[in-house]
A and B are shown apart, each in its own frame.
Chain A
């Protein structure tokens, strides 16, 4: 069944305060819509449940990207084209620029927003492994004020998150301290362009005399929501990259991920590919570490 535009209301207050007041006046009644690359697909197919939508498009506060020496703060409604065109993101956060280039086509990238990708909460979200590998924090806002939490605590279940009924995702904060880290991001899908991930792995790490001093591993499509691989990190931290350590990391990874069989892939394939991606990263890390 096709969507019927008469069945949905859409308003555009045009300011952040206007949106927040609407959300506060009738908590949970309004569904925010930014670029529409998720919600309009649901609408077209006749499966958009939201009767009342509030537009976040064209609100400058929500789309700003601010750079300080310590961090970069990305407005939740910044588009993936905004991210791809930003010089500091390209230089300091290449994994995020790479993830942005994976989002659909150019036409999708000009509309789809970083905040929308996170709030939509797909386990396969392209931007999530990069943000987790960079220790991102997210800032939430409502008429009651603002709060910041680690992005790793944002998702609480399949398509569930910590946002209160009157709250909006406001910004994503990235600390600028990963330039010296070895950085890795790879997505495996059905084809290279325009495909949703079967598995993706993002990683940042620092090696010191061959010993892993810092490591962050993050996966998409291996659990009900994008997640850090904390058990695998713990096995690798403080170790040299040798066959015994790599084998232990494989076991930890298989223990902590919860891949499923679905239309895109199988649990078995996802586990195998996740291990292959981890190996690829660790071998790159070892060879670059031995050069430095």
Chain B
């Protein structure tokens, strides 16, 4: 697999290597640089948002080695060798992830700042608990704050994604069909 050097002005730092959305990446950044900033500034993956910068709001949530983490609290060096998934890694072959489709269809996103984190927290939940109860959905998203939706539409979107998945791919609507369905 080819290694993409991240664009950075800190070339004198030793390289830190990890996988992002399945691709091997290498960055020369200070070891204490926040993973959030590495993703956004060095790898130009700006889907991951900064909200509070103190691990309270979940906007910067990504999945690292199969755990949900706040990327604002991860020093780059501690991501060495890790498998990282960001919101850019959810869609597959140009087709939205069922969670993304459900958020679109059910009004799960308004201003959009919390949305990538909500999606990653929900993806983490479904990875480990494919048929979660509403209480599990609420707990899994409890670390992700939204100032727009009042949360109900987000919870309903996750529940709808669960239903769509259990009904099987045949019933899955395209994004366009979902817009019409609204």
Interface flag for A177 (CB, 8 Å): no
A105: contacting residue among B33, B53, B143, CB under 8 A: B143
A-B contact pairs, 18 of them (CB 8 A): A5-B29, A5-B30, A6-B10, A8-B32, A11-B31, A12-B77, A36-B73, A40-B72, A41-B55, A43-B32, A53-B75, A57-B78, A106-B143, A107-B67, A107-B143, A108-B55, A108-B70, A111-B73
Contact between B73 and A10 (Cβ–Cβ < 8 Å)? no
Specify which of B69, B76, B78, B80 is in contact with A110 (CB 8 Å cutoff). Answer: B69
In the complex, the answer to whether A44 meets B72 with C-beta atoms within 8 Å is: yes
Give per-residue flags for B76-111: 1 if the beta carbon is below 8 A from chain A beta carbons, else 0: 111010000000000000000000000000000000
Q: How many residues of A contact B (CB 8 A)?
A: 31
In whole angstroms, how far apart are the Cα atoms of A9 and B58 in the complex? 26
Whether B143 lies near A108 (C-beta < 8 A) is yes
Interface flags for A136-177 (1: CB within 8 Å of B; 0: not) read 000000000000000000000000000000000000000000
Which residues on the B side are within 8 Å of A277 (C-beta)? none
A92 to B124, CA, bound (A): 28
Nearest first, the 8 A-B pairs at minimum CB distance are A105-B143, A5-B30, A10-B31, A110-B67, A40-B73, A5-B33, A5-B32, A8-B32
B-facing residues in A99-125 (Cβ within 8 Å) = 104-108, 110-111
Cβ-defined contact, B77 with A5, below 8 A: no
Knowing A40-B34, A110-B68 touch, does A193 contact B142 (C-beta < 8 A)? yes
Say yes or no: is B54 at the interface (Cβ < 8 Å to chain A). yes
Say if the beta carbon of B5 comes within 8 Å of chain A. Answer: no
CB-based contact B30/A194 at 8 Å? no
Instruction: Render A1-30 as a binary contact track against B, CB cut-off 8 A, 1 for contact.
Output: 001011011111000000000000000000
- Residues of B at under 8 Å CB distance from A? 10, 29-34, 37, 53-56, 58, 61, 67-70, 72-78, 80, 121, 124, 139-140, 142-144
Q: Which of B69, B72, B124 has the most CB of A within 10 A?
A: B69
Give Cα A40 to B74, complex, Å: 7
Name the interface residues of A26-58: CB closer than 8 Å to any CB of B: 33, 35-37, 40-41, 43-45, 53, 55, 57-58
* Chain A: CB-nearest residue to B50: A44
CA distance A262 to B78 in the complex (A): 35
Q: CB-CB contacts of A222-239 with B at 8 A, as 1s and 0s?
A: 000000000000000000
Chain B residues with CB under 8 Å of A193's CB are 142
Starting from the known contacts A40-B55, A58-B78, A107-B58, 11 additional A-B residue pairs (CB-CB under 8 Å) come to A5-B29, A5-B30, A6-B10, A8-B32, A12-B78, A12-B80, A36-B74, A37-B73, A40-B34, A40-B72, A55-B75
B139: which A residues are within 8 A, CB to CB? Answer: 106
In whole angstroms, how far apart are the Cα atoms of A77 and B34 in the complex? Answer: 21
Instruction: Given A12-B80, A36-B74, A111-B69, decide whether A104 and B31 contact each other with a Cβ distance below 8 A.
Output: no
CB distance from A242 to the nearest CB of B (A): 40
**From A33, A81, A106, A194, contact of B75 by CB (8 A):** A33
